[in-house]
């Protein structure tokens, strides 16, 4: 456990705050107009932590195997938690759209695990980093748009349509990044699956 990994773990523990605050703001007596600012604060804190833990690990030469696993896991937990949270309340994202993010990460994680068990390390792709950044940007934009919506300056109908378009773009690129990952690592994946098949003979 390095200092960078503690920052990564902190991002994971911050994630449940989003559904708790978003869905329970009335119970906490938080005015709806304040809600997007509070959520933006925690999301910005989480995203800054994501940048900082990577910088810290490289600067201290403390890039670890645990960190390589925890960092993408923390990204997935944070963004998928947010998108699932946004299926409720005033955002009202379609649940099926959010499943694209969940299934992509489960599928890729399973492939990486199978290959790792066979001693094959699948290299990360730049498209995966773009996917993570795009999901973060979309999440921030939704919260920023929530400010004029909760103030009554933007209609809920228009707000929901914009959110749907933004998340739709992120979902489409998420599928593209999955395809890119599979194509780039197809040789290693075939090798791992072939090894698995032979081990059962």
DSSP single-letter state for residue 25 = T
Q: What pLDDT shows up at residue 59?
A: 73
Return d(Cα 134, Cα 147) in angstroms, integer. 20
Find the CATH number of the domain harbouring 174. 1.20.120
In this prediction, residue 164 carries a pLDDT of: 96
Per-residue tokens: 2: 């390095």
- Taking residue 151's Cβ as centre, other Cβ atoms within 10 Å add up to 11
Report the Cα 78 to chain-centroid distance in Å: 5
User: Structurally, how many domains does the chain consist of?
Assistant: 1
Q: List pLDDT tens digits, range 102-150.
A: 999 998 888 887 777 777 777 678 888 899 999 999 999 999 999 999 9
The percent of residues in the chain predicted with pLDDT above 70, rounded, is 88
pLDDT at 66 over 90: no
pLDDT (0 to 100) of residue 62: 67
- Average pLDDT for residues 5-11, to the nearest whole number? 81
**192 or 10, which is more confident:** 10
26-44 pLDDT, tens per residue? 999 999 999 999 999 999 9
Quote the pLDDT of residue 197: 53
User: In 10 A of CB 131, how many CB atoms?
Assistant: 25
Mean pLDDT for 77-86 is: 93
Cα→Cα distances 199→162, 171, 195, Å: 51, 37, 6
Return the pLDDT at 33.
94
Residue 45 domain boundaries: 3-200
pTM above 0.95, yes or no: no
Q: Please provide the DSSP assignment of 121-182 as one string.
A: PPPP-HHHHHHHHHHHHHHHHHHHHHHHHHHTSS-HHHHHHHHHHHHHHHHHHHHHHHHHHH
Question: CA angle, 148 as apex, 24 and 27 as ends, to 5°?
Answer: 15
Within 8 A by CB and 6+ apart from 70, the residues are: 5, 8, 9, 12
> Given pLDDT bands bounded at 50, 70 and 90, which one contains residue 74?
confident
């Amino acid at each position: 456990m390095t200092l960078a990994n503690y920052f990564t773990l902190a991002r994971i523990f911050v994630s449940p705050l989003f559904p708790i605050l978003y869905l329970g703001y009335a119970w906490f007596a938080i005015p709806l107009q304040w809600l997007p600012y509070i959520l933006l604060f925690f999301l910005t804190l989480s995203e800054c932590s994501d940048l900082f833990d990577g910088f810290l690990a490289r600067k201290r030469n403390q890039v670890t195997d645990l960190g390589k696993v925890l960092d993408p896991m923390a990204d997935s937990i944070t963004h998928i938690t947010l998108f699932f949270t946004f299926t409720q309340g005033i955002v009202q994202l379609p649940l099926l759209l959010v499943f694209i993010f969940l299934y992509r990460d489960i599928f890729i994680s399973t492939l990486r695990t199978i290959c790792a068990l066979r001693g094959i390390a699948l290299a990360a792709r730049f498209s995966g980093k773009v996917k993570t950044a795009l999901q973060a940007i979309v999440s921030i934009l939704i919260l920023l748009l929530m400010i004029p919506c909760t103030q009554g300056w933007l209609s809920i109908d228009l707000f929901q349509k914009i959110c749907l378009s933004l998340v739709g773009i992120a979902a489409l690129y998420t599928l593209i990044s999955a395809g890119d990952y599979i194509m780039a690592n197809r040789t290693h994946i075939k090798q791992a699956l072939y090894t698995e098949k032979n081990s059962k003979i």
